[in-house]
Each structure stands twice: as C-alpha cells, then as structure tokens.
Amino acid sequence: MNPKRFLPIFLLLLLLLPSCRIKNKVNFLSYQVYPFQAKGKLFYDGREYGVDLAVERAGDLTLTVLSPELLAGTVFERKAGAVTVRSGELCLPIEDGGYAAAEGILLAAEMFFLESNSFSGADVVTENGVCYSRAAYTAPSGVVTVYIQKGLSFPEKITATLNGHEFLFFFLDGMEIVNES
C-alpha cells in the first residue's frame, strides 16, 4: 500500500477531531431566572402531584397543587423564610424549625434555588433512549440533580434527595419568565 494515498484522509481527520472534542457548555441553572412560573409534575416520595410553581426570587416560592383532586387548590407558600399552607378559607402558618425546615413538600423549593458554587459534578446519561446532560448540586438538605436534554436551554426534569425524601419534577410546557414592569 502506498502511504501517500492515505495522507490527505489522515490530515482531514486531524482537522476534524479537535472540533469533535469541543463541547457546548450547558448552563444547568438557566431555569433560575426570577421571577418565573411553571407547570409541572412533582413526584414526592412516590406520590404524584400536578403543580403550578411561581418563584418570585431565590427563597420565595408558591406551589399550588392542581391534582390529585382531593388536594387541588391547596397552596404552599414560602416567603422570607415563613411558610403558610392555604386550602379554601383555611390559612395556617407553619412555624420555622418544624415542617418548613425539615420535612414536607416544600423541601422541593431547594430544587429551584441552587447556587453555582454548590456544583459537585456533571456527566452525560441516556435514559429510555433520551440523552441528557446531568449536573449534581449540593443543597442545604441533600443533593439536587438537573437534567437537560440535548438542544434545550432549560431542564426537562430535576431530581433530589432531601432529608431522606425523594423528589422528581418534570417541567410541562417549559416555563414562563414573568415580566415585572
């Protein structure tokens, strides 16, 4: 064989290989643009809830339960560290140090207030034939993992293990940035 015949192909491969190694950076925290609203499915310790999320700023979240029907209309609100639960005419403040701090569905709020300095690692995974870029973050009560599907600019799902509770949030129809003008 004549090695000169393969030289152009070899040079072309050398030119192409560096471009294959350059990967697009993924902004895993792109969804944390405040204020925003999103509809989603929240799985909390194996139970499924349809929810509306409204996030005013980091730390302030309103979670309205849409389903199941028995809980529809229940509103969990975390604002300036205080937590209230409303259902119909009933409005209950939840004292800090109890439900608000360590237990319950509002632990899911930590999934939406991550800081870039809490990043602990990233990789690429395939689940059910779908390729995701995945990044893990340390949260005050555990670990949160953000999944972004190739070609999307915000997460499709977020998982978390917080104080021993398992959470999974699927964004439905993306999210809406609220203009406060």
DSSP output for 49-81 = EEEEEEEEETTEEEEEEEESGGGTT-EEEEETT
pLDDT tens for the chain, residues 1 to 181: 555 565 455 444 444 433 333 345 778 888 888 888 999 999 998 899 999 999 988 888 899 999 999 999 999 998 887 888 899 999 988 765 555 444 677 788 889 889 889 999 999 999 999 999 999 999 988 999 999 988 787 888 999 999 889 999 999 876 676 655 4
Question: CB count, 10 Å around CB of 17?
Answer: 9
The DSSP code for 88 is T
137, 143 Cβ separation under 8 angstroms: yes
* DSSP β-bridge partners for residue 44: 47, 167
Q: Tell the residue number behind the tokens 């939406």, with chain if given.
A: 112
Task: Tell me the H-state helices in 35-176.
Answer: 99-102
Q: Which domains does the chain have, with CATH numbers?
A: 26-173 (2.50.20)
Is 86 exposed, middle or buried (CB count within 10 Å of its CB: 0-12, 13-18, 19+)? middle
43 sits in which H/E element: strand 36-44
Count of all residues that appear for the chain in the document: 181
Cα–Cα distance for residue pair 120/129, rounded to 1 Å: 25
* pLDDT the model gives residue 104: 75
- Residue 19 has what pLDDT? 31
SS3 state of residue 87 = strand
Report pLDDT for 1.
Answer: 55
Report d(CA 38, CA 51) in Å as an integer. 8
Taking alpha carbons only, the member of 42, 62, 58 closest to residue 50 is 42
- Total-model pTM: 0.77
Q: What pLDDT shows up at residue 158? A: 94
